[in-house]
Amino acid sequence: MPVPFADRLAQAVRRKRTPLVVGLDPRLEMLPAELALAAPSNPQQVSAVYERFCCQVIELVAPLVPAVKPQVAFFERWGPPGLEALAGVIRHARQAGLLVLVDAKRGDIGSTAVAYAQAYLGPQAPWPGDALTVNPYLGPDTLEPFLSLAAEQGRGVFVLVKTSNRQSGAFQDLPAEVPLHEHVAAFVERQAAQTTGGCGYGAVGAVVGATHPQQLARLRKLMPHAWFLVPGLGAQGATAADVAAAFDPRGLGAVVNSSRGIIYAWHQEAYAHLGDKQWQEAVQQAARDTIEQLRRHTPAGAL
CATH of the domain at 11: 3.20.20.70
> Is 105 tagged catalytic?
yes
Domain that holds residue 90: 5-302
What backbone phi and psi angles, to 5 degrees, belong to 256? -115, 125
pLDDT digits (tens, 9 = 90+) for 129-172: 999 999 998 888 999 999 999 999 999 999 998 776 667 666 66
User: Looking at the 3D structure of the chain, how many domains does it have?
Assistant: 1
- Read off the pTM: 0.94
Task: Tell me: pLDDT of 176 over 80.
Answer: no
Mean pLDDT value of segment 249-271: 96
Task: Tell me: pLDDT of 241 over 70.
Answer: yes
| Integer Cα distance of 72 and 65 in angstroms | 20
CB 261 within 8 A of CB 233: yes
> Which entry of 16, 69, 105, 277 is annotated as an active-site residue?
105
In 10 A of CB 244, how many CB atoms? 18
